């Protein structure tokens, strides 16, 4: 059997880090070549470290990794995009944190997924540059579900198979999509979803971002869309997410200053 490669040169996004030993950090990276990997950045907490600034969460980097005994070890790091406008804005930070948390939870170690990597990088640059990143984040939610195998069915009733009519509908987490009002009584866990919100979800699901970003849902529809998707994520992951609470707190903060 050939020996596995000892080094890996790849683009990556830093998902999170934790302190390790006296001055080191363990990073969780999402790499283009090998999906999620853990890597040790030696001395990253020392102020002098040349690597530290390149290895903060949300940073898009190019790294050279060498296979150590227990971990990959970061031997070189170079920032491709630090997304400084995310880091200088709390709301953008909160959106980016949500995006990162979802990616982290929906992937396991060493599952290569270059399309997901590209989606992540695109989404971070959208969060960094768009005036209101809301749609970009909802678009990410739907693409993430596609790329991890949980694409919700939004066009046909999952019970009778009939095409969805222009009327308020139901959505069931367990079934993974819409249930028409006729079938809803047989699915007690189905929750109602307004026709408009469903339209936006369908629009995001089937459009490229350039088209999708023109969506302009009303505040109540934004709310419904977000709550529905968050509920679906919680159902799929079988645990609550950390970041929506933080995001909502920041939003409340902004609203109270207006």
Partner 1 sequence: MAGLPAPLEALITAFERLPGIGPKTASRLAFFILRQPDEVAQQLAEALLAVKSQTANCPVCFNIMLAGQERCQICADPRRDESQLCVVEDPLDVLVIERTGGFLGRYHVLQGVLNPIEGIGPEQLRIRPLIERVQEGRVREVIIATNPSMEGDATALYLRQQLAPLGVRITRLARGLPMGGDLEYADQNTLLRALAGRQEL
Whether the CB-CB separation of 127 and 86 falls below 8 Å is answered with yes
Question: What is the nearest approach in angstroms of partner 1 to the Cβ of residue 249?
Answer: 5
Question: What is the nearest approach in angstroms of partner 1 to the Cβ of residue 217?
Answer: 24
Residues 161-220, interacting with partner 1 (CB under 8 A): none
Does the footprint of partner 1 cover residue 56 (CB under 8 A)? Answer: yes
Residue 159 interacts with, from partner 1, Zn ion, none (CB under 5-8 Å by kind): Zn ion
Distance of CA 163 to the CA centre of its chain: 30
163/131 Cα distance (integer angstroms): 36
Residue 214 interacts with, from Zn ion, partner 1, none (CB under 5-8 Å by kind): none
Does the footprint of partner 1 cover residue 89 (CB under 8 A)? Answer: yes
**Among the candidate windows 23-31, 66-74, 112-120, 157-165, which touches Zn ion by CB under 5 A?**
157-165
**Among the candidate windows 77-85, 117-125, 144-152, 175-183, which touches partner 1 by CB under 8 A?**
77-85
Give whichever of 167 and 253 is closer to partner 1, judged by the CB atom. 253
Mention every residue, 6+ apart, whose C-beta is less than 8 A from residue 126. 133, 136, 209
Sheet architecture: strand order including 177-179: 177-179, 169-172, 191-193
Whether the CB-CB separation of 96 and 60 falls below 8 Å is answered with no
Does the footprint of Zn ion cover residue 84 (CB under 5 A)? Answer: no
Residue 236 interacts with, from Zn ion, partner 1, none (CB under 5-8 Å by kind): none
Residues 182-211, interacting with Zn ion (CB under 5 A): 183
Q: Which member of 157, 178, 193, 250 binds Zn ion (CB under 5 A)?
A: 157
Whether the CB-CB separation of 63 and 77 falls below 8 Å is answered with yes
What contacts 24+ positions apart, CB below 8 Å, involve 191-196? Answer: 191/228, 191/231, 192/168, 193/168, 193/169, 193/224, 193/228, 194/168, 194/221, 194/224, 195/166, 195/167, 195/168, 195/169, 196/221
Residue 93 in tokens: 């930070």
Whether the CB-CB separation of 41 and 55 falls below 8 Å is answered with yes
Does the footprint of Zn ion cover residue 158 (CB under 5 A)? Answer: no
Strands 72-81 and 35-41: parallel
Question: What is the nearest approach in angstroms of partner 1 to the Cβ of residue 21?
Answer: 4
Give whichever of 84 and 218 is closer to partner 1, judged by the CB atom. 84
Binding residues for partner 1, rule: CB under 8 A, are 15-16, 19-22, 24, 47-50, 52-54, 56-59, 79, 81-82, 84, 87-90, 93-94, 96-97, 100-101, 104, 241-243, 245-247, 249, 253, 257
């Amino acid at each position: 059997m050939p020996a596995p490669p000892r080094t890996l040169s790849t683009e990556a996004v830093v998902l999170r880090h934790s302190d390790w030993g006296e001055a080191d950090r363990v990073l969780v990276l999402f790499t283009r070549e090998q999906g999620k990997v853990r890597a040790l950045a030696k001395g990253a907490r020392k102020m002098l470290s040349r690597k530290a600034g390149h290895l903060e969460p949300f940073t898009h980097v190019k790294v050279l990794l060498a296979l150590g005994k227990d971990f990959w070890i970061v031997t070189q790091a170079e920032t491709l995009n630090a997304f400084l406008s995310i880091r200088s804005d709390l709301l953008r930070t909160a959106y980016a944190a949500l995006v990162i948390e979802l990616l982290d939870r929906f992937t396991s170690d060493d599952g290569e997924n270059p399309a997901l990597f590209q989606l992540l990088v695109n989404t971070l640059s959208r969060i960094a540059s768009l005036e209101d990143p809301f749609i970009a984040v909802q678009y990410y939610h739907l693409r993430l579900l596609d790329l991890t195998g949980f694409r919700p069915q939004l066009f046909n009733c999952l019970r009778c198979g009939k095409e969805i009519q222009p009327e308020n509908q139901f959505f069931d987490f367990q079934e993974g999509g819409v249930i028409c009002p006729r079938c809803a009584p047989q699915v007690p866990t189905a929750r109602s979803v307004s026709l408009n919100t469903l339209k936006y979800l369908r629009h995001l699901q089937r459009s490229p971002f350039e088209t999708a970003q023109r969506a302009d849902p009303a505040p109540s529809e934004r709310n419904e869309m977000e709550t529905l998707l968050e509920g679906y994520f919680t159902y799929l992951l079988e645990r609550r997410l950390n970041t929506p609470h933080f995001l909502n707190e920041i939003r409340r903060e902004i609203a109270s200053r207006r």
